[in-house]
Chain A
Amino acid sequence: MITIDRATEQTELAASPALRRKARRLRKLTDLAFHAAMIAICAAWLAPVALLVMVSVRTQNDITGNGLGAIPSSFSLSSFGAAWNEGGEKGAIVNSLVVAVPVVVLELFLGSLAAFALARFAIPGRRSLLLLMLAGNLLPPQILLIPIYTFTQQLGIYDTRLALIIVQVGFGIGFFSFVLHGFMRGIPRELQQAALVDGASVVQIYARIIMPLTRPALAALGALAFTWAFNDMLFAITVLTSSSKMPVTPTLLGLQGNYVSQWNVIAAGTLIAAVPTVLVFLRYQRYFIGGLMLGAVK
């Protein structure tokens, strides 16, 4: 009735060539406004990073003489050397990698086991189990710090990178089980049924059928998990105390403490600390965003 009238009216309007031209011009104009606005926003988003790069290549004299906000009047890469060598970032990046890589592998492996069992079989109470596991990941980590601190001491693994690996894996499992469960539930049943009829074991179904089909999700989550593990600070400063074992984020803070007001070194250190995750991001961009989206819509 009214809606149909309006619809026909609209088609009639759209048919008129003059109006169509006008609409096209309007669309071009809104496009232009959109890009102008987005370029401004992106510039604002990147400005602090650009500033950091500028500060990192200035000399200390230039900064103290002309102020942090001044246009660079010097160029030197020595601040990178200071952060890398004396600042301890060389060892810190290694520590972060030594922790983050096993964390990602173990988190995804254990998470996928639980997700597989809960998504593909009628386990009694599977919803509650899944929610319990997710709830563990949603806890504010502050409540865990002191118990984990005392527990690692009792076990004699306090101040080891192993402790940090275990703690991070434990904390991450819940989230990855939850997201992988959502993904695995979407794999068609028929594949598994056919295999069951052929007498395939549970392990075979997991390894030969479900896991290969889960690979895109694993790639996405792996990229995401890597940045989380690599960037962690709170768990690191809870279970570690030797600076030689500290990963990169706490080391960056140490750098800030040791190079007070030497902003070129702090800026260089911050850039160095960001390189690994930014590289992973640039390489696996597509997956990254996919990984977050996997978790978002249920």
Chain B
Amino acid sequence: MSATATMGDQGRRLSGSRRRRGGGLPPVLLAFILVPLLVEATWVLWPAIQGFYLSTLKWDGITSPEFVGSSNYRAMIHDPVFQTAFKNTIIWLVLFGGLSILGGLGMAMLLQRDRRGVSFYRSVLFLPVVLSMTAGALVWGVFLQPDGPANQVLKLLGLGSFQHFWLADPKVALYSMTLPALWRQIGYLMVLFIAGLKAIDPQLYEAARIDGASRWQEFRHITIPQLRSVNGVVIAVTIIDALRSFDVVWALTRGGPYHSTELLSTYMYSEAFQSRQLGYASALAVVIFLLASAVIVTHLVRAFREDSD
């Protein structure tokens, strides 16, 4: 922190002396910023704004669009599939998000110290991160088939009554799908948490140990507060990943059976590119956007308040 602060001071001093000499910023710098910004603005920022506008249209993408105001949003309220997708998205956010953070933190705590074998363990846990989510989902898809190992093992253990059609039973399909998602996400979050844990000053722990703090007290009063900046990143990343989750569902069930695994993202995609309801799909995308912003903004506001305490 202090290092960056000095950097900033020096930067200001440097630019100050430049300005006094009468030279502004070199014009080529403008291009350095504008070219990347323009690419992003054209392909991301402007389309995002357009997404809001499209959500007020009734449009199939071929005939000319018709302005319908908020009627897409009103239709949503009475749309049972939307209700299911919304509910599932919240479940997914809490379950997938919560468990991946707990799992990632747990693994990071176990593997933070550099000792023999640790880098191998880290690599194994990280390996799924380099697969595509689709591949990851298919890996587990094999596992969860009716005649697959999941059911076989249950039968062997005498737990035959727990056997399920994991991906075809509307009651359990959504929960089954958290397995591949968690399998992939935990290694990713583990790396972020390890980075955070390594940045904690070991003297804090030494001081706590001398004061006779228990392991739990150390965790509660040093580790968690010291991880604050990483927690912010992790929570933002997790929420966004949870809300944009698409590949895993698309690979395993496409939202079925009977929309029981439908997430807002999959419903949005099928409304857009299969039912060709571009306006309605845009409205669904806006809901995803608003959910993401709401959760992130609430979290940032809270983190901010804690910071100023």
Contacts and interface: CB of A to CB of B under 8 A. Distances in A.
Closest 3 A-B residue pairs measured CB to CB?
A170-B43, A122-B15, A231-B132
Interface in B1-43: 3-4, 7, 10-12, 14-15, 25-26, 28-29, 32-33, 35-37, 39-40, 42-43
Given A136-B40, A166-B43, A297-B230, A146 B32 contact: no
B33 A129 contact: yes
A68 B117 CA distance: 33
Contacts of B151: 69
Given A146-B272, A151-B43, 5 more contacts: A48-B140, A51-B149, A139-B289, A169-B43, A267-B138
10 contacts: A45-B128, A48-B140, A113-B35, A142-B288, A166-B43, A173-B36, A231-B135, A249-B134, A249-B135, A296-B195
A233 B230 CA distance: 28
Contacts of A270: 135, 138-139
Contacts of B67: none
A171 interface: yes
B48 A143 contact: yes
Nearest to B51: A143
B46 to A, nearest CB: 8
A288 B45 contact: no
Contacts of B43: 144, 148, 151, 166-167, 169-171
B286 interface: yes
Contact of A202 (B29, B196, B268): B29
Contacts of A232: 132
Interface in B55-104: 61
A237 to B, nearest CB: 8
Given A146-B278, A298-B233, A136 B131 contact: no
B47 interface: yes
Interface centre among B61, B125, B129, B286 (most CB of A within 10 A): B129
A95 interface: no
Interface stretch (A12-20, A211-219, A272-280): A272-280
A113 to B, nearest CB: 4
B147 interface: yes
A151 B281 CA distance: 16
A292 to B, nearest CB: 5
A171 B142 contact: no
B133 interface: yes
Interface of A: 3, 6-7, 10, 34-35, 37-38, 41-42, 45-46, 48-49, 51-52, 55, 67-70, 110-111, 113-114, 116-118, 120-123, 129, 132-133, 136-151, 166-167, 169-171, 173-174, 177, 185-186, 189, 193, 201-203, 206, 227, 230-234, 237-238, 248-250, 252-253, 256, 263, 266-267, 270, 273-274, 277-278, 280-281, 285, 288-289, 292-293, 295-298
Given A143-B51, A253-B250, A121 B44 contact: no
Contact of B142 (A35, A51, A145, A148): A51
B122 interface: yes
Interface stretch (B168-176, B186-194, B215-223, B301-309): B186-194
Nearest to B152: A69
Interface string B267-288: 0110011000010011011101
Chain A interface SS verdict (over half): helix
Contact of A233 (B143, B247, B272): B247
A170 B118 CA distance: 37
Given A174-B44, A289-B122, A202 B26 contact: yes
B167 interface: no
Contacts of B145: 68, 263
A129 to B, nearest CB: 7
A57 to B, nearest CB: 13
Contacts of A273: 132, 134-135
Given A140-B292, A267-B142, A110 B44 contact: no
B14 A189 contact: yes
A203 B28 contact: yes
Contacts of A136: 40, 44-45, 48
Contact of B196 (A7, A48, A296): A296
Contacts of A237: 273
Contact of A123 (B29, B35, B129, B244): B29
B236 interface: yes
Nearest to A63: B147
Nearest to B7: A185
A110 B28 contact: no
B272 to A, nearest CB: 6
A77 B210 CA distance: 62
